[in-house]
Structure 1
């Protein structure tokens, strides 16, 4: 039975229990602003103890625990780009949870730190921090190192401005105008416009586009084989795809295949004339600067949008989102879209494109109604 004591302005609980050797020990924790908070946490711990949870004395800094967890469970298991996100989370843990250990963090204290982090970060960033910390705690909870999940019930609400959902996409008419403008005046000296055309037609990630070589493009069958990406931020070398599902064949329509065939031919002639011999037979390679930078591609995209008088702040990543939204808008099965994009699972697709899925559902609702309207008429 837990005992509750008020110490100054905060509450403390004390739980008596038997350790694995049958000896009685006490587990104490203080710092609760309300007695109800202490009662709730103590109740959860007692319930776990009744199930056989072993309470240990091991305690380490949250930052040390997270670093060990990500190196054991994530390093080499996820792409370099994704692993950098875990490293970024570790940096934030070190900054905001400097002296906090995994056994001494209460839910209230954790929420206070999350609130502090939320003041200068957007929703998605706060959500990622919380999600990754929560994931790292599963094993230590199962092993009885800590008696409960202090992230449970955390309120996630970033206060920093983020890009509005509508700003990440073009509507169908704008997308159509962009593609048709981008394919005009393609020049093998500069591959940015060409990349925008192919990105719009395939929905490939920027790293996948950058790492694409001509031997992975089958223009006769109209397919692109994606089995790697290019790490343009650190190693400047090929890296595995973001996940296993990202290894895939992406279809090419007839017009895009024709554009790519023409560009390839012109590129071959130019490179031979200028005696340019890239280390790899890259599809998107500038005659002078080499591989396109993300900044250069986004700059060219911005220029084209300005010519069209479209004020949406679109990036190459946003172009991928637009590609997917167009497919959903045109009625392509959401599972096929998920596979086409190389998403880890369908849940990712449903979350990212919830706006488009909702529109599709509303349209299907009308379809469902019409089916039964026809039945009654027959």
Structure 2
């Protein structure tokens, strides 16, 4: 119901509505006559009846994002995600310092993404847009804006390292495994053990660092991923997504190596703790990996995360079902796996085309 009243020499119209159990108001002042104020109120009432009424948040875009993050995300996401949201807020403050949320259009947002893409990769641009879109959809649902200005956004970005540089070819992978296995376990570094574990499981660094001895099933040759390790705060935390909680089958010889490791370091809480209180840092395992790759004269020098890509790429190249590979990697959905390994799937498809044509020619 609308409320019309005079304030000084002008008229003000106030339209209220009940939303999510709370009384909200949309107010406009400065009307020269009561009739013009009533006309605006009538039009606003129609918008309300048609569910088209947009409430003025009274906040800038960055301030609204900050309040949304604090209310809905801060206490429900991990530290890595928290750092991302804080970074996004900082970037929004730099680019939309005084811009009201309800004034942002798809054109404004696309122009920002185009500018942001000049100094960031496509994947980073997409990630930025995805997290802002979560807020935007909530703002639409709550009636603060009418349309999702992130809808249909187009993504570009700086060139990144070619896909074929992210993983080892089969020969180098085999040589790396042989080189690490040639070192006696009693003399082998924990970083080397994590390198083997990454090639066996395709797990992320934080997942492998967080493995404790109760995560190892010696009889079934399974490593259970149920948590991860935050190397900065030195605390256990949840996995990246709910799908990241998984059981990964590994080879029996590798399980036997882990058993031998446990005998050598019985007091370590972590499988890859050794004589230290905590597992190796990501920096430490990356340094060891570079040394190992240099020792075997590898064609490529990749990061520890590249071992995850090596694991998945090798399985796909051997014809392992993409759905199983996705589950093994703990991806949130198969679309992520498909987009990450598109180049390999295309090669596999070309091989299947040649095979199909060869079979058809024999008919």
Q: What's the TM-score, normalizing by structure 2?
A: 0.80
Partner-residue secondary structure (3-state), 1:131: helix
Equivalent residue of 2:339, what SS? helix
1:357 is aligned to 2:345: yes
* Corresponding residue number in structure 1 for 2:290: 302
For residue 267 of structure 1, the aligned residue among 257, 265, 268 is: 265
Aligned position for 2:61:
62
**Corresponding residue for residue 140 of structure 1:** 139
SS at 1:291's partner residue? coil
Contact 2:88 2:128 in 1 (8 A): yes
Matches of residues 331-342 of structure 1 in structure 2 within 5 Å?
331-342=319-330
**Conserved 8 A contact 1:97-1:113:** no
* Aligned CA distance change for structure 1 residues 313 and 372 (closer, same or farther; 3 Å): same
How far the C-alpha of 1:286 sits from its partner, in A, is 3.7
**C-alpha separation in 1, matches of 2:220 and 2:85:** 39
Q: Classify 1:23/1:127 alpha carbon distance in 2 versus 1 (closer, same or farther; 3 Å).
A: farther
Separation in 1, partners of 2:177, 2:301: 16
Hey, what does 2:173 align to over in structure 1?
Answer: 175
For residue 285 of structure 1, give the secondary structure of its aligned residue in structure 2: coil
- Deviation, structure 1 residue 194: 1.1
How far has the Cα of 1:247 moved from its partner? 1.2
CA distance in 1, matches of 2:361, 2:51: 59
Q: Distance in 2 between matches of 1:19 and 1:267?
A: 68
Asked if 1 retains the 8 angstrom alpha-carbon contact of 2:168 and 2:310, the reply is: yes
Q: Do structure 1's residue 347 and structure 2's residue 346 form an aligned pair? A: no
How far apart are 1:76 and its partner, in Å?
4.4
SS of 1:176's equivalent in the other structure is helix
Aligned-partner Cα distance in 1 for 2:347–2:40: 58
Structure 1 pair 210–288 and aligned structure 2 pair: CA distance change class (3 A): closer
Cα RMSD, aligned residues only: 2.8
Distance 1:250 1:54, change over 3 A: same
CA displacement at 1:85 relative to structure 2: 2.3
Provide closer, same or farther for how the CA distance between residues 184 and 142 of structure 1 changes in structure 2, counting only shifts above 3 A: same
Q: Does the 8 Å contact 1:208/1:226 carry over to 2?
A: yes
Q: Is the 8 A contact 1:188 1:286 kept in 2?
A: no
Deviations along 1:186-219, whole A, 9 cap, x unmatched?
4446311111111111111111111111121112
Q: Are the aligned partners of 1:214 and 1:283 in contact in 2 as well (CA < 8 Å)?
A: yes
In structure 2, distance between residues paired with 1:193 and 1:207: 16
Distance 1:204 1:61 in 2: 41
* 8 A contact 1:59–1:145 mirrored in 2: no
Q: Do the aligned partners of 1:183 and 1:193 also contact (CA within 8 Å) in 2?
A: no
Confirm or deny: 8 A CA contact 1:78 1:242 kept in the other structure: no
- Matched with 1:81 is 80
Which residue of the partner structure matches residue 245 of structure 1? 243
> Could you say which residue in structure 2 is the equivalent of 1:43?
none
Distance between the aligned counterparts of 1:177 and 1:327, measured in 2?
17
Q: State the partner residue of 2:309.
A: 321
Measured in 2, the distance between the counterparts of 1:165 and 1:194 equals 26
* Residue correspondences, number: 325
Deviation of 1:244 (Å): 1.3
- The DSSP-based 3-state class of the residue aligned with 2:136 is helix
Partners of 1:76 and 1:342 lie apart in 2 by 23
CA distance 1:105–1:216, change in 2 (3 Å): same
Q: Normalized against structure 1, the TM-score is what? A: 0.77
Shift of 1:56: 2.3
Distance in 1 (CA, whole Å) between partners of 2:168 and 2:92 is 36
